[in-house]
Amino acid sequence: MVIAISNTLGQDWRALRTPALWVAVGLLFAIAILTAQIPHQHVIDVGYEEGIGDADLPFLRDFNTAEKSFFGTFRWTSGDSQVFLPTFGLRATVIELHWLPIGAEIVDRVPTTLQVWHENQFIAELPVQRSGSRQWLIVPPTPDGNLRLRLVSDSFQPAQDPRQLSLPLERVIVATVPGGWAWPALTPLAWWIGVVIVGWLILVRTMHRQALWGLAIGSGLLAAAMILDPARWAFGAEAAFAALALTYPLTLAIQAWVRRQIRPQGIADTLSVIVAIAFATRIGGRFYPASMPGDIGFHTNRFHEALGGLITIISKNRGIDFPYPPGPYLLLAPGHVLGIATPLLLQIGAALADSLSALIVYVIARRVLRPRPALLAAAIYVFTAATYLTTWWSFDTHIITQSLYLLFIWGIIRAWEDWRAGQYRHEWIAGLAALSAIVFLGHFGFLISSGTLLGLLIAIVWIARGLGLQWARVVSGSLTLAIGIGALFAIIFFYSAYLPMFLTQLDTARTGGLTAVAGRAPINREALWNNLWQAGLIAHYGLLPIPFALIGLWLLLRRQGRQITIGLMGLSFVVAIIFATLPFITQVSNSPRYLMALGWAIAIGTAATCDTLWQRGWVGRIGVIGAGLFVLFNTCWYWLTPMLWRVRPPEPF
C-alpha cells in the first residue's frame, strides 16, 4: 500500500512538472486577460427558464416563479430580488431594465419606487411607471469582478396567493462599458486552472503520450467558452472542479483494478479514461447551477420513504398505474449512513453505475470482438446520447438497474459457457437467481423488457431441447431454475402486493382495451411514428448506430456462428421490435425501457461494423469518422442544452 501511494505521488509530481501543463495554464490566463478587455453584452429574458437563448437561470435569485403574459414571459420580484452575473463586474456596466404594465386590479398595491443596490452599495432610487417602462443605469466595477444587482422595494400579497409580489420584470440587458484596462475575474479563473491541473493528472495517468491531445482539446474548448459566454463559463467553474475532484480517486481505483484484470495495459488505461470521462460529464452536468433537475426531487422523497419502511407504492406513467420497486434505494442506503445528502448520494450513485457500465460492456464485447473494437463498443455505450437522457431526467433507479441488467447479461453468458463445459452449475444457478431478482426489483420497465427477453430465451432453449440438441439439454434446466427462483422471489416478496391492481387493470383492458387502462384517448399513429423516429432512433442513438448494429449482428453471426452472446443480441433486437410495434396496435404509448435495454447490443454491433469498415481502406475510415462525428454532435447537444439552458430532452424509453 505504501509503495503504491508513493508511486502515485511520484507519477503525479512528474506530471505537474511537465512544461506543457504550465504553457496551457499560461495561455488560459492570457486569454482570460484578453477576454476581460473585450466588451460583452448579456441579455436575460426574465421568465424564460427552459430553452436555448437568453434563459434567465441561474442568473436570477429570489424572484417568483416564471409567468406568461400578452407581452411575453416575466417574473415578479419579491421585494429583495437579485441579478447575479459573474465576470460582468470587471468594468462599469450599463443596466437596462424592462418593466411590464401593472394591472388595474392591483395598481394601488404595488410600490411607487424601486431601490437598486449593488451588494450593499446604493446605486439609485427609480420611480415605478405603472404603464410599464424601460430604465437605464450605470453600475461601477467591483473588486471581485462579479455583478450582484439587488432590486429592493415594498411587496404585497394578493388575495388567496401565498406569494410576496413587487414588480413584474420582463428583461434585463447588461452591457460592459468599453475602454480602459480590466483584470479578469480571478475566482472562476482559479477554479478552472484547478480543473486543468486535475484533468491533466487524470490524462497523464490514463492516456500517457496522447495526454497532450486531451490537454490541447480541453484547453481550447475552455478558452472558447470563456470568450463566447463568460458568465456561464464562470458558473461552471466550481461544478467542473468538484466533478474532477471526484473523478480523480475513481480513476485511481478503476485503473488499479482494471490493470490486474485486463491485458495489455494500454487497453486497461483506455478503459479507465472512458470511465473517467463518462463519470465527469455526468456528475459535472448535474452539479452545474440550475441545470435540468429531472426527477431528483421524486427520488429523494421515494428514497426516504423506502428507508422508512414504505416499500410498496404506486406510481403513474402515461396514465397507467404501476409498481415502483425499491431495489436501487436499498443498494444506496449504506451511503446514507455516511451523512451524504440524499440528492447527492443518488446522483453520484447513478453516475457511478452508468460510467462503470463501460467495463461490463467491454467484457461482454470481448466474447465476440477483438480488444480494440471491444473498447469502441464500451465507448459507444456510454457516449451515445441515450444514457445522458436518463442522467438529465434523473431516472436514478433506471440507471442503476440498467447497469445491473448488463451484469445480468454477462452472468447469463458466463453461466451458459460454464454449464456447457460442465462447470459451476449450482454456483451459477444461485448467481443468476440473485441477479435476476435484483433486476426485477430494480425497475418495473426493466422487469417487462428483461422478462420478455428471458421468456423468449427459455422458450427457444426448451424447443431446442425438444428437437434433441445436446447443448439445450445441458442448459435448459439450470437456466429455467435460476430465472424461476429470481422471478418467484420478486413476485412473492414484492409484486404480490399489487395483485388487486393488476386484476383491476386486466378487467379494464378486457372490457375497454388498453386505452381504458390509461384513461386516455387513442394516440394517432402518425404521432407515434414521429415520436419513435425523432425521440427514439435519432435522439437516443443518433440514428446511424441502429443500422450499423444490425449489420454488425449479421457480420458476427456469419463469422462466429451461433453462440450465446450473439443470440442475446438478436433477442434484444426482437424484444425492441415487439415493444416498438405494440403502440401502433394498441394506440397506447408504453415505456418498458426497450431502447435503453438494447443499448449494449447496439454498441457491440456498431463496433463490429466500424471495425469492418475501418479495415476496408480510407473510404471506410472516412465513413466511420463521419458517422462518429454525427453521433458525437448528437450527444453533445443532449448534454449541453439541458445543462446550460434546461432544455428537456426526449424522455428515454
Q: Which of 176, 210, 227 is the last residue of a domain?
A: 176
Is the domain of 582 the same as that of 445? yes
> What is the distance between the alpha carbons of residues 150 and 164, in angstroms, rounded to a whole number?
16
Give, in order, the Cα–Cα distances in Å from 91 to each of 36, 58, 88, 122: 9, 21, 7, 18
Q: Which of 156, 176, 196 is the last residue of a domain?
A: 176
Residues 283 and 351 sit within 8 Å (Cβ to Cβ): yes
Is the domain of 359 the same as that of 496? yes
Q: Residue 26 domain-assigned? A: no
Instruction: List, for residues 140-169, the tens digit of each pLDDT value.
Output: 999 889 999 999 999 999 888 889 999 999
Closest CA to 480 of 463, 453, 446, 457: 457
Q: Please state the separation of Cα 421 from the chain's center in Å.
A: 40
Residues 650 and 57 sit within 8 Å (Cβ to Cβ): no
Is the domain of 449 the same as that of 303? yes
Q: CB under 8 Å to 500, separation ≥6 — which residues?
A: none
Query: Residue 45, SS3?
Result: strand
Residues 631 and 610 sit within 8 Å (Cβ to Cβ): no
pLDDT for residue 100: 95
How many domains does the chain divide into? 2
> What is the distance between the alpha carbons of residues 356 and 362, in angstroms, rounded to a whole number?
10
Is the full-model pTM beyond 0.85? yes
Q: Residue 261 domain-assigned? A: no
Domain that residue 84 falls in: 41-176
C-alpha torsion sign, points 41, 46, 47, 49 = positive
pLDDT for residue 367: 96
CB-side neighbour CA atoms (13 Å) of 475: 25
CA angle 565, 570, 575 (to 5 degrees): 120
Residue 649 has pLDDT above 70, yes or no: yes
Is the domain of 462 the same as that of 324? yes
Closest CA to 57 of 40, 35, 82: 82
Please give the single-letter amino acid code of residue 145: G
- Residue range 613-628: mean pLDDT, rounded: 95
Residues 569 and 550 sit within 8 Å (Cβ to Cβ): no
Instruction: List, for residues 397-453, the tens digit of each pLDDT value.
Output: 999 999 999 999 999 999 999 999 999 999 999 999 999 999 999 999 999 999 999
Give the number of other Cβ atoms within 10 Å of residue 71's Cβ.
13
Give the number of other Cβ atoms within 10 Å of residue 557's Cβ.
16
Q: CB under 8 Å to 162, separation ≥6 — which residues?
A: none
pLDDT for residue 522: 82
**Which pLDDT band holds residue 513 (cuts at 50, 70, 90)?**
confident
pLDDT for residue 179: 82
Residue 208 has pLDDT above 70, yes or no: yes
Residue 377 has pLDDT above 80, yes or no: yes
The C-alpha cell 423506502 sits at 306
Burial label for 164, CB within 10 Å (0-12, 13-18, 19+), is middle
Q: Residue 113 domain-assigned? A: yes
Is the domain of 321 the same as that of 455? yes
> What is the distance between the alpha carbons of residues 411 and 427, in angstroms, rounded to a whole number?
11
> What is the distance between the alpha carbons of residues 114 and 618, in angstroms, rounded to a whole number?
67
Instruction: List, for residues 451-488, the tens digit of each pLDDT value.
Output: 999 999 999 999 999 999 999 999 999 999 999 999 99
Closest CA to 44 of 294, 232, 293: 232
pLDDT for residue 228: 94
Q: Residue 185 domain-assigned? A: no
Q: Please state the separation of Cα 207 from the chain's center in Å.
A: 24
Q: Residue 420 domain-assigned? A: yes
Question: Which domain CATH number covers 118?
Answer: 2.60.120.260
Preceding omega of 343 cis (within 30 degrees of 0): no
Give the number of other Cβ atoms within 10 Å of residue 135's Cβ.
16
pLDDT for residue 2: 66
Residues 589 and 531 sit within 8 Å (Cβ to Cβ): yes
> What is the distance between the alpha carbons of residues 329 and 356, in angstroms, rounded to a whole number?
18
Q: Please state the separation of Cα 72 from the chain's center in Å.
A: 31
Is the domain of 387 the same as that of 519? yes
Residues 187 and 144 sit within 8 Å (Cβ to Cβ): yes
Is the domain of 164 the same as that of 299? no
**Which pLDDT band holds residue 4 (cuts at 50, 70, 90)?**
low
- Contacts of 331-334 with C-beta under 8 Å, sequence gap 24+, read 331/400, 332/303, 332/400, 333/306, 333/307
> What is the distance between the alpha carbons of residues 584 and 453, in angstroms, rounded to a whole number?
21
Q: CB under 8 Å to 485, separation ≥6 — which residues?
A: 429, 433, 436, 437
Instruction: List, for residues 402-413, the tens digit of each pLDDT value.
Output: 999 999 999 999
Q: Residue 419 domain-assigned? A: yes
Is the domain of 366 the same as that of 505? yes
Residues 231 and 59 sit within 8 Å (Cβ to Cβ): yes
Q: Residue 534 domain-assigned? A: yes
Q: Which of 160, 176, 192 is the last residue of a domain?
A: 176
For residue 320, the cross-strand partners are 317
Is the domain of 168 the same as that of 307? no
Give the number of other Cβ atoms within 10 Å of residue 570's Cβ.
19
CA angle 456, 458, 459 (to 5 degrees): 65
pLDDT for residue 316: 80
Q: Residue 277 domain-assigned? A: no
